[in-house]
Amino acid sequence: MIPVHDLILKRRSGRIFDPDRPLENDKLLSLLEAARWAPSCSNNQPWRFIVSRGESLDSVKECLSRGNSWARRAPVILTIASKPDLDCQITGRDYYPLGIGLAIENILLQGIHLGLVVHPIAGFKERRLKETLHIPDEYRVYALVIVGYPGSPEGLDELVLQKEKISRERKPLEEIVFWEKWKDG
C-alpha cells in the first residue's frame, strides 16, 4: 500500500497550548488562506470565519463548555459559521456542512505544517457565542478551531492530560469500508 502523507499521520487534536506565545499574523493568515482553498460546491465557499485573538477572545472563551476549559489557554479561536443558502442544495441535500469540514481540515493540516496545535471543537454555547460575536440569527455556528503553539502541561487537569496520552488509533478499513454494496456488521 502507498503510505499516507506525513501531515495526515502527524495531525492530532492537541489540548496543551502555550498561553504566553501569541500567534504571528503571517501564520494566522496562512491558516485562513488554506481554508479559502478548500473545495466547495460550485466554488461557493460557504464558510465564514470570525477570528478572536484580541478584544473578543475572552468573551468567546466564556462560551466554551466545561469540557473544553483547556482551550482557555489558546491565543486564537476561530469561529466557523454558515447557512444553507450560501451553498448548493441538490435533491434536498445541503452541501455547506461538507464544505465547512473540508475548510477545517485544510486549517488542521496547514497548522501541523506550521508547528501549531490546532483543535476543532463543537462544545460551546451557540446562542451566547452568536450574541458575543454579533452573528446573525440565520447562521449556525458549526465549530470553533482552537489555535496556538504547543505548551507545557503544567496546570492542566488530570483528565486533559490523560486524553493527551491516548494513542491515535483508527478502526480497520474492513470495519468502515464496504466493497460494491452495504454490508451489515
Q: Whose CA is closest to 73, among 153, 135, 3?
A: 153
Report, as ranges of residue numbers, the positions in the chain whose pLDDT lies below 70.
Answer: 185
Q: Determine the pLDDT at residue 87.
A: 94
Query: Looking at the domain assignment, is residue 91 inside a domain?
Result: yes
CATH number of the structural domain spanning residue 92: 3.40.109.10
Structural domain includes residue 156: no
Q: Cell triple for residue 136?
A: 446573525
- Domain containing 73 equals 19-149
On whether residue 134 sits in a domain, the answer given is yes
- State pLDDT tens for residues 70-92: 999 999 999 999 999 999 999 98
Average pLDDT, the chain: 94
Cα(10)–Cα(34) distance, integer angstroms: 17
**How many structural domains does the chain have?**
1
DSSP 68-127: GGGGGG-SEEEEEEE-GGGS-EETTEE-HHHHHHHHHHHHHHHHHHTT-EEEEE--B-HH
pLDDT in tens, 88-107: 999 989 999 999 999 999 99
